Structure 1
Amino acid sequence: MNGLLHTVLKRIVKTGNLSVTDSKLITSRYGDGSGAHIHIKFNTAHAERAIAFDPELKLGQCYMDGELDVVEGDIYGLLQLVFENTGPTAATQPWMKALSFARRSLRRLQQMNTIMRSSRNIKSHYDLSGALYDLFLDPDKQYSCAYFETPEATLAEAQLAKKRHIAAKLLINEGDKLLDIGCGWGGLGLYMAKFLKADVTGVTLSEEQHAIANQRAAQDNLSHSAKFELKDYRHLTDSYDRISSVGMFEHVGVGHFAEYFQHVARLLKKDGVFLLHSIGRSDGPGVTNPFIRHHIFPGGYIPALSEVLPHIEKAGLIVTDIEILRLHYAETLKAWREAFMARRDEAKALYDERFCRMWEFYLAGSESAFRWQDMMVFHIQIAHRQESVPLTRNYIEAEEKRLRRLDSKRASANTENRNHAFTQNERKLSHTPCESV
């Protein structure tokens, strides 16, 4: 085995049960033998050297390219073993820390998300086949952190709860003009139009999402109140009573935070409310994981609150509420990962084995980040005026209860309609003459 890799593994893996077969087919054991057995096999000497020097980038790349296989266990189990030994800090050796410092020095350049570059970055991920996302997302195609009100909640229930939670914080009145920055496939905007009677405008840079969102609005007879545009939020000129941004801020880039909140301040009416839902870091400013930056979200960055709040203040806006969702995204990603793996063959038919390995690593690595690497999700409620929201937070729970009742009524009505249609069909069948055999 590569000597540097052996030294790193021996120094890091103190607990757990790891077997490593090198490219010469020699197997070594690491850890104290506790826990599930993880066995990995290096197929090339190059992978041994590369991972020893730069594991943050090369572990995922070598797995994706077939230079590394997991013989027993899976990638998620391997990452769990690593992070439970290293803690939140992945860079454990001096040269790894130097690489991390160099990447941090370049982050503004890597996150220079001009309007043209932002469009290109978004298309590289969100314009993948809609059939791919259907394999693992909930039926409403929510591609952001769900809100698990109970541990037993299904993914679909938790995503519905997320929409209720956001809607409650926005204090939407019937007829309010609502802007959804980064609207995805339209699920949140359609919910606001249907249940809150809001006049919704959603913007996205993904052609795939734009087409599907408008198609869904037409199918639900909501085209008059929910419109989705293929447009950068920086090009908008109207003003809005309410603004939401869910899972989009991660694509803004640290050098554009000031610009982002200046546009929010311009677009939000003086008595308006804005809700920002974003992944965040609880351990302070950092750098985008290089595998994620290279292969999944180019131009993306997960911010710390300490990097965000000063720009809100400088834009003349007021923070009226902050909530931290800790393990909700870990549970969301677990559901996505398990669903993707259950339908992996279908994903492979859409793309190829290399793509499937890349997404396995992406989903497993992302879940690991929320369980062991100090990642979380934050909600920041923002306004121009402090009196734009009630004095206490009781209104959030009260509005969620009201929306939950509406959701239940809709579910009951849908069940009754299905049962009625089934009964009518049975009646028709009972009056249909049978053919003789």
Structure 2
Amino acid sequence: MWKKRLRDLIKIGRLRLIAPNGDLVELGGTPYLSHHRQLEVTVRLHGSLTPFKLMLDPHRYLGESYMNGDLTIERGDLWDFIELIGYNFEEPRPDITNGFAALANSVLRRIQQHNDLTASRRNVAHHYDLSEDFYRLFLDADMQYSCAYFRSPNASIEEAQTAKKEHIAAKLLLAPGMRVLDIGCGWGGMALFLARTHQVRVVGITLSTEQLAVARARAMGLEDRVSFELMDYRKVEGSFDRIVSVGMFEHVGIPQYAQYFQTMTERLAPDGVALVHSIGRMRGPSRTSGFIRKFIFPGGYVPALSEVLPTIERSGLWLTDLEVLRIHYAETLRLWRERFMANRHRLPPQYDEKFCRMWEFYLASSEMSFRFNGFMVFQLQLSRSVNAVPLTRDYMTTQEHLMATAAE
């Protein structure tokens, strides 16, 4: 049964599938994607139950099978296989006509994303409390762990991550002495960049003890302008001229959206400006894949804008600018994946081969999501006042150009 279904699905490229009993199934037609490039992959399945698991829940078991060694690649590599899948399997659009299915899907999503204070800390620790040395194997020198911004398609990861920070800073309309809150500050790169380049005072908050230790160590010499705290966004007090949140909103969860934006409204000065940078979906609400939810980001969810904007409207905040970045994260993930593969031999002993395969699959499948499955990044500029930002967007380009020129 599973062989027949696959034959109907593979149209682009060529897949040779070796079943657990040794049978060879050849799928697809010509392997050529163009006159100069072909896509041909041979995959071997191990264990009699593996084919049925893959048919039952491919979103979970494809990654899990590769991680556990139940799926091995004998011709090509994992990215070749993932790319072939991307060309042939389109993510289904949500069925808005089936009322019961839509309701069940909505309820399940909310249960999976119930991130109270305890769950949020536990979920963050699962992913971000890995060692600093591990992340340095594939991130840029500033340890930016979010979508870069490619002014040029040939930019290095360092150049593109610097451009991302400049792009965000331009939207924040910063002035010396302003008080800035960085929600989900990571290893401190954005906070330190803003403090150095714009002479602002930044409070960065994180739920990761590992990230906090690194951020505080990096702030040596800038203690008068930057501080980092182990704190949930719901516990922040005080007023801020600017709020920035990069790559954190994906961990909030739909049930907490109202509280997230209400907190932002309460913490933002009357003429303040906020910038939220998050992964999003262009095909409407869906569910986090079983593999990502179990092994990578428990409690995480990539929202559609249709799930976010109504909450912003009810919060009283103005949406003063919205930008969608499409292929930028695909290119970011490609560079991370290439660095990870080149440096995986340097991993500490606690990160075994199974762990390496898990992360390789995470990086490759995430890249596929941005190239083929409608994932993108959105940047929301928000304010409490209709007059908080200029009438046109020209100021962003001007400020960004000034920062790029000053850095040369």
TM-score by length of structure 1 reads: 0.89
Q: Cα 1:102–1:292, aligned 2, differ >3 Å: closer, same or farther?
A: farther
Q: What does residue 18 of structure 1 align with? A: 15
- TM-fit CA distance, 1:87: 2.0
Counterpart amino acid of residue 320 in structure 1: T
Q: What does residue 280 of structure 1 align with? A: 280
Q: What does residue 34 of structure 2 align with? A: none
Q: What does residue 226 of structure 1 align with? A: 226
Cα distance in 1 for residues equivalent to 2:337 and 2:305: 28
The superposition leaves residues 264-305 of structure 1 with CA deviations (integer Å, 9 ceiling, x where unpaired) of: 000000000000000000111111111101110000000111
Which deviates further from its counterpart, 112-121 or 101-110? Answer: 101-110
- TM-fit CA distance, 1:405: 2.4
- 8 Å Cα contact 2:94/2:284 also seen in 1: no
Q: What does residue 411 of structure 1 align with? A: none
Please say if 1:326 is aligned against 2:329: no
Q: What does residue 182 of structure 1 align with? A: 184
Please say if 1:57 is aligned against 2:70: no
- 8 Å Cα contact 1:111/1:253 also seen in 2: yes
- 8 Å Cα contact 1:83/1:90 also seen in 2: no
Q: How does 1:37-48 map to 2 (within 5 A)?
A: 37-48=40-51
Q: Which runs of 5 or more structure 1 residues have no equivalent in the other structure?
A: 93-97, 409-437
Provide the secondary structure at the position in 2 that maps to 1:45. Answer: coil
Q: If each structure's helix is expressed as a fraction of its own residues, which one has the higher value?
A: 1
Counterpart amino acid of residue 253 in structure 1: G
Cα distance in 2 for residues equivalent to 1:91 and 1:400: 38
Q: What does residue 6 of structure 2 align with? A: 9
Please say if 1:81 is aligned against 2:78: no
**Which structure would you say has the larger Rg?**
1
Q: What does residue 307 of structure 2 align with? A: 307
- TM-fit CA distance, 1:82: 1.6
- TM-fit CA distance, 1:373: 0.2
Counterpart amino acid of residue 288 in structure 2: T
- TM-fit CA distance, 1:349: 3.4
Provide the secondary structure at the position in 1 that maps to 2:55. Answer: helix
The superposition leaves residues 341-364 of structure 1 with CA deviations (integer Å, 9 ceiling, x where unpaired) of: 111222363410110010011000
Counterpart amino acid of residue 78 in structure 1: F
Q: What does residue 145 of structure 1 align with? A: 147
Cα distance in 1 for residues equivalent to 2:94 and 2:56: 10
Q: How does 1:211-250 map to 2 (within 5 A)?
A: 211-218=213-220, 221-250=221-250
Counterpart amino acid of residue 108 in structure 1: R
Cα distance in 1 for residues equivalent to 2:363 and 2:121: 23
Give the length in aligned residue pairs.
Answer: 398
Correspondent of 1:107 among 83, 93, 109? 109
Supply the RMSD in Å over aligned alpha carbons: 1.7
Cα distance in 1 for residues equivalent to 2:365 and 2:394: 36
Counterpart amino acid of residue 62 in structure 2: L
The superposition leaves residues 362-401 of structure 1 with CA deviations (integer Å, 9 ceiling, x where unpaired) of: 0000000000000000011000011100111010011111
Q: What does residue 163 of structure 1 align with? A: 165
Q: What does residue 121 of structure 2 align with? A: 119
Q: Cα 1:19–1:101, aligned 2, differ >3 Å: closer, same or farther?
A: farther
- TM-fit CA distance, 1:83: 2.1
Q: Which runs of 5 or more structure 2 residues have no equivalent in the other structure?
A: 32-37
Counterpart amino acid of residue 57 in structure 1: R
Counterpart amino acid of residue 17 in structure 1: R
Cα distance in 2 for residues equivalent to 1:349 and 1:364: 23
Q: Cα 1:288–1:194, aligned 2, differ >3 Å: closer, same or farther?
A: same
- TM-fit CA distance, 1:89: 2.7
Cα distance in 2 for residues equivalent to 1:246 and 1:311: 19
- TM-fit CA distance, 1:29: 0.4
TM-score by length of structure 2 reads: 0.95
Q: What does residue 359 of structure 1 align with? A: 359
Q: How does 1:370-389 map to 2 (within 5 A)?
A: 370-389=370-389
- 8 Å Cα contact 1:8/1:52 also seen in 2: no
